[in-house]
Amino acid sequence: MQQTLKSSRVGAVGRRTRVVTTCVAAPPTPARTPASTGAVKRAMTMTEKILALHSDKPSVAPGDNVWTQVDKLMTHDVCGPGTFGIFQKEFGDKAEVWDPERVVIIPDHYIFTADPRANRNVDILRDMVDRYKIKYFYDIKDRGDFKANPDYKGVCHVALAQEGHCKPGEVLFGTDSHTCNAGAFGQFATGVGNTDAGFILGTGKLLIKVPPTMRFALDGKMPPWLQAKDLILHIIGEIGVAGATYRSMEFVGDAISQMNMEERMTMCNMVVEAGGKNGVCPADQTTFDYVEARTSEPYNPSYSDESASFFADYRFDVSKLEPVVAAPHSPDNRKLARECKDVKIDRVYIGSCTGGKTEDFMSAAKLLHGAGGEVKVPTYLVPATQKVWADVYALPVPGCDGKTAAQIFEAAGCVTPAAPSCAACLGGPRDTFARMNEPEVCVSTTNRNFPGRMGHKEGQIYLASPYTAAASALTGYVSDPRDFMA
């Protein structure tokens, strides 16, 4: 089925145009019999195919060092100033950015704060955009009212997808470890440091090592109480935080093909928590519909060959899995949610690139509406982007009597949804919304629970799905969402 989709799709959207070096023909040689001629083609995984295409090679293998051409470079307020600083130092004051239409700058981390250094970072980015004529800059000037900033989007990884920057078969680098989020679109996407990003700014290329691929087949029908966050936490718990170090994680199977794009983004977003170089999901009609609703640019999806060699093969029957959490202080400290029912909590946090998408808020609202009652602990809500914030207030939650998520959250006593940003996911300045300034226990839909991640170094974070987070808010303890779902 994948091969059929691929061949028909390429015809519809066109192929990448590349400059190919031609060679002078050698003198004619005697004809050979068919048995002794023919090109030898190596079967490749999806990641290997994308990197082969972008390095103008017929094939690549794990461990190969290749100069890959870059389709998009993303940076934000935390790393952007440093990236441009390195670019200017190494390429010279008169150098120009390799392609100002392929650089995407998204302020999102330390935005709604009075911290002067954080605010200065955005000012520096604004100067760099003007100087180098960067096309895609999602600026914010009025921090007092985010809605007054039509260009401002919010969390970079979700905004990249919503603004049409994520496309099958492309190569995306970003100065953020969760850039792997875009792998949900069948795209090679990974995080890089400021030095590599500065080099990309000047050349549009980067030397990388081809990673081996681990394949994760997720078969069966998802139970109604299970979400993508449960699956990726289960996988990380299975292989450990170093189990996929510098490897590609490819997700396939019925459970993946049944997911919408936001749930696939959750899967790929957290591969870095297992040490992964990148994560990918095969592009299908769900992918194409999402992408083509947001951009008219052509793309060329790639798929793993049936005979490709994988570093490891894992298979899970999702129908037999239970809701899980990652207990402090590591994403691989996997425990069943029901095993933690005696853990008293102080707060719940629903937000971030991992857990602050429209789907995440709809899920949490659905559980709260079905359960009735009010939350027992402060429940903070941080939509990832302006669009998600608007969806929370405008879209009726399916099966909830026409109510919006915002109406359900208000009735349940949750804290009013905050301005879109990374907010407390990365701690940030002390005045950051919902930052843990005290050593509290929190159930969070974010992606990391290391000491100090959300603020106080003695805080305890339980990573969980939106369902589990909502259930825990209702009880004041880490809770299994099945207790509130038929």
pLDDT tens-digit series, residues 120-145:
999 999 999 999 999 999 999 999 99
Does 16 have pLDDT greater than 60? no
Q: Which residue has the tokens 């050593």?
A: 439
Domain containing 123: what range?
A: 69-208
**Whole-angstrom Cα distance, residue 245 to residue 285?**
31
Sequence-distant contacts of 239-242: CB under 8 A, at least 24 apart: 239/214, 239/274, 239/314, 239/332, 240/274, 240/332, 241/273, 241/274, 241/275, 241/330, 241/331, 241/332, 242/274, 242/275
DSSP labels for 334-363?
EEEGGGGTT-B-SEEEEEHHHH-SHHHHHH
User: Do the domain assignments include residue 226?
Assistant: no
Tokens of 188: 């090679």
Residue 288: which residues within 8 A CB-CB, separation 6 or more?
A: 9, 168
Does 353 have pLDDT greater than 80? yes
Q: What is the pLDDT of residues 56-73, one digit of tens each?
A: 999 999 999 999 999 999
For 197, list phi and psi in degrees, rounded to 5: -65, -40
Q: Using a pLDDT cut of 70, give the percent of the chain over it.
A: 92
* Nearest CA-CA partner of 329 in 273, 390, 389: 273
| Predicted pLDDT at 332 | 98
User: Do the domain assignments include residue 2?
Assistant: no
**272: helix, coil or strand?**
helix
* Nearest CA-CA partner of 195 in 71, 48, 72, 91: 91
pTM > 0.85: yes or no? yes
User: Do the domain assignments include residue 164?
Assistant: yes
* Residue at which a domain ends, from 173, 208, 243: 208
Tokens of 30: 């005697």
In this prediction, residues 12-36 reach a mean pLDDT of 38
Cite the beta strand spans of 19-88 per DSSP E. 65-69, 72-75
Helices 358-371 and 466-475: angle between axes, nearest 10 degrees: 40
User: Do the domain assignments include residue 165?
Assistant: yes
| Predicted pLDDT at 12 | 38
* Residue at which a domain ends, from 156, 174, 208: 208
Tell whether the torsion through CA atoms of 286, 217, 219 and 323 is positive or negative.
negative
Clarify whether residues 204 and 328 are in a common domain. Answer: no
Q: What is the dihedral of CA 42, 44, 48, 53, to 10 degrees?
A: 60
In this prediction, residues 392-404 reach a mean pLDDT of 97
Amino acid, res. 27: P
| Radius of gyration, CA atoms only, the chain | 23
Tokens of 85: 């600083």
DSSP single-letter state for residue 289: H
User: Do the domain assignments include residue 139?
Assistant: yes
Q: Using a pLDDT cut of 90, give the percent of the chain over it.
A: 91
User: Do the domain assignments include residue 433?
Assistant: yes
* Residue at which a domain ends, from 208, 242, 272: 208
The H helix count followed by the E strand count for the chain is 15, 17
DSSP single-letter state for residue 222: P
* Nearest CA-CA partner of 54 in 202, 200, 171: 171
DSSP labels for 429-479?
STTSTT-B-S--EEEESSS---TTTTB-TT-EEEE--HHHHHHHHHHTB--
Clarify whether residues 328 and 468 are in a common domain. Answer: yes
* Nearest CA-CA partner of 426 in 84, 149, 113, 198: 113
Clarify whether residues 335 and 201 are in a common domain. Answer: no
User: Do the domain assignments include residue 283?
Assistant: no
| Predicted pLDDT at 41 | 73
**Whole-angstrom Cα distance, residue 243 to residue 274?**
6
Query: How many distinct structural domains can be found in the chain?
Result: 2
CATH of the domain at 75: 3.30.499.10
14 pLDDT band, cuts 50/70/90, is very low
Q: What is the pLDDT of residues 253-307, one digit of tens each?
A: 999 999 999 999 999 999 999 999 999 999 999 999 999 999 999 999 999 999 9
**Whole-angstrom Cα distance, residue 277 to residue 274?**
9
28 pLDDT band, cuts 50/70/90, is very low
User: Do the domain assignments include residue 28?
Assistant: no
